[in-house]
Structure 1
Amino acid sequence: MEGPLEKIYSLPTAALMIVGIILSAFLFYAMMRSAENGNVVMVILLAVAISIVAFVVSQAVKFQKFKDL
């Protein structure tokens, strides 16, 4: 596997999940603070960032599961 995400894909599954949860929680907290301030653009951008983190984590877990087969 080559590409910019090679190091992320090679992490153990548990570590990858913990990092994803922590990063998503921080982004969600920042999104709620932006919503309280009324900054709609930041809310949308942070929601997209949360979905990107979730997508990368799910793809990395899927890659690791297929690699084990």
Structure 2
Amino acid sequence: MIALKVEKIGDRAAVVLSEEALAALHLNIGDTLLLTPSGDGAFAAQTREGWAEDPHARGRAFLKRYNRSFSQL
């Protein structure tokens, strides 16, 4: 088990990942980590490589993130 620390950075909260956690998740600084609630209080973690299973997932994630900008166009 890897314990993670939540810190306040400005007006946001950030989860600080140790080198061990980054290695276990195959993440680098700047990568995207998707957390999906499983319903029982746990989360499933998915890295960018998981998007290869669904070729449209990146596009949906992009549109969801910038939905307000696109609706104003």
Normalising by the residue count of structure 2, what TM-score does the alignment of the two structures yield? 0.27
Compare relative contact order (CA 8 Å, sep 6+) and give the higher one, 1 or 2.
Answer: 1
Structure with greater proportional helix content: 1
